Structure 1
Amino acid sequence: MTRDFNKPAKQRVRRHGALPVALALMILCALSLSSCGQQVKSHEKEYKGTIIRAQKGLFQGRTRYSIVNDTNEGDIQTFELDVRGLDAPTTEPHPHKKGGSAKVGALVGAALHCAGNGVKCTPNSSERQPVLTSEDSAQWSWSVSTPKPGKISVSLSLTSYYLNTRKVLTENPPITQTIEVSKQEDPFSWLKDSWQWLLALLGAIGGVEGIKGILEYRAKRRNRLRTPDDSEEEEGEEDPDQPPT
């Protein structure tokens, strides 16, 4: 029986040959990770640059919004907003509207936030509209319903977005107004009060029979209070159709 003296040498060659391969794979992975990291950093830098350029591209625009007034419960007011560039045609002044300014030059979103006793703000237009150039304009409106009395507040917010995304470029300070909602007066309340008073009176005097008794009593009392002179005059009156005696 002979021994294979070359076998350990082959195993040593295979073992030493695997080390460079593993080392090469580790280097490749490290380089790949480094490359990925550089790509991420490059992408973040490019994204920041894009947002900064978009923010610098914004410009000042004009706004005109409704002034909410104190109201009664159950009423509905319309809140309107107009946003336009400086070169867009101006709107006529309105006594119940106030002017202001906002950053435009992008897709502009408008929202009306309501808080209070049952108040509800229902939008009548799209939330986001483009005001891209100094000649553009956009309009929004909401229906503000006040079903219950109390103090309520409405807050208007304007936001400029990057392209057609939810990435915020700038958000203007909110405009808040507070109003008082009064209790609605019933125009027939006096009739209800009179009816309640009449029912109370009828209950106190015994209903219809009581009223009939009061009327009969007053008639008898008038008969008893008739003066004697009136009776004598009635007795002394002669019938003009009868001949004198």
Structure 2
Amino acid sequence: MIALASGLFTLQYSSDDGPGEQKTYTEEIGRARQQLFRGQLIHTDTRSLKLVAGAESQSFRVDVLGSWRGAGPGEAQTPISAGAQIGVKLHCSGAGVRCTPLSSERQNVLTREDRATWMWDVSAQSAGKISIALTVTAYFRDGDTVLLEKPPLTSRVDVAAPPGDGGWFSWIKDSWQWVAGAITGLGGLAVSVTAIVTAVVMVVRRRLPGADAEEADATERVRGASPRRRSAREERPRVGRLRTRPTAARNLPPRRRGDAQREPRE
């Protein structure tokens, strides 16, 4: 009987304590929300991001202030609730896009004089459109309880193609990068084999008869030089003795003196 009464008393105390703790928790959350005040969110305008595929990353900055100030060039602003621990996240989606955080995710903006800054490096490897979403959350104390969260600020960003992309020069560049990567991966094996084959070919050609003359002629043709001229002795035609045909006068018998005077009379 005594044990039963003790158990009923414990159960009643636990039941009363549960709703009491829940009520206290709710009241604390309500007071914390009431302590929030209007602050300002200043962030990099996504239209000022000049992203190029494969190029250097661009900086994306977010400032949360307890007071109000004007936004500068390339910035956008919007009201935000401050007076608590603030968490800021940058979500990037798209082919080859990356947002690298450079600061803590959560920082305190408890008074109107407080100011917190977040930084990211944004880069893309492919041309096209990417999506960037900025989320700002006010937390209860240093826990994970959310006091207030602003709807994500989402925008679309164009990633430009690198100069000359898609042309024959880009194809040659990509091919060369692939070959260079393959050579590097093989530890210079391809270069060594090519050098050995070239050396063997040069030695064999030098040992062949007439290889020097052929190499000289090839060098002259490459340099645009005229063919080797022959010497004057080589160019002079060979002239033999002129053979004279014997004339009829040589076959006639010698004339005797006085024959000219013995011509027949008419």
Question: Could you say which residue in structure 2 is the equivalent of 1:104?
Answer: 82
Question: Could you say which residue in structure 1 is the equivalent of 2:259?
Answer: none
- Verify: 1:78 aligned to 2:59, yes or no: yes
Ranges in structure 1 where 5+ consecutive residues have no aligned partner: 1-22, 195-208, 216-245
* Count of aligned pairs between the two proteins: 172
Aligned-partner residue type, residue 77 of structure 2: G
- Verify: 1:167 aligned to 2:145, yes or no: yes
Q: Any residues of structure 2 matched to 1:38-53 within 5 Å, and which?
A: 38-53=16-31
TM-score (norm 1): 0.65
Question: Could you say which residue in structure 2 is the equivalent of 1:115?
Answer: 93
Q: Deviations over 1:178-220 (max 9, x none)?
A: 0111221239x676799xxxxxxxxxxxxxx9xx8xx9xxxxx
> Which structure: larger Rg?
2
Question: Could you say which residue in structure 1 is the equivalent of 2:115?
Answer: 137
TM-score (norm 2): 0.60
Q: % of aligned pairs identical?
A: 34
1:94 shift after superposition: 2.1
* Aligned alpha-carbon RMSD (Å): 2.5
Question: Could you say which residue in structure 2 is the equivalent of 1:179?
Answer: 157
**Aligned CA distance change for structure 1 residues 191 and 60 (closer, same or farther; 3 Å):** closer
Aligned-partner residue type, residue 47 of structure 1: Y
Question: Could you say which residue in structure 1 is the equivalent of 2:200?
Answer: none
Aligned-partner residue type, residue 107 of structure 1: Q
Secondary structure, aligned partner of 1:173 = strand
Q: Measure the CA separation in 2 of the matches of 1:193 and 1:66.
A: 35
Q: Measure the CA separation in 2 of the matches of 1:77 and 1:176.
A: 18
Aligned-partner residue type, residue 73 of structure 1: A
Secondary structure, aligned partner of 2:151 = coil
Q: Measure the CA separation in 2 of the matches of 1:193 and 1:159.
A: 47
Q: Measure the CA separation in 2 of the matches of 1:118 and 1:193.
A: 20
Contact 2:98 2:122 in 1 (8 A): yes
Contact 2:164 2:170 in 1 (8 A): no
Q: Deviations over 1:213-237 (max 9, x none)?
A: xx9xxxxxxxxxxxxxxxxxxxxxx
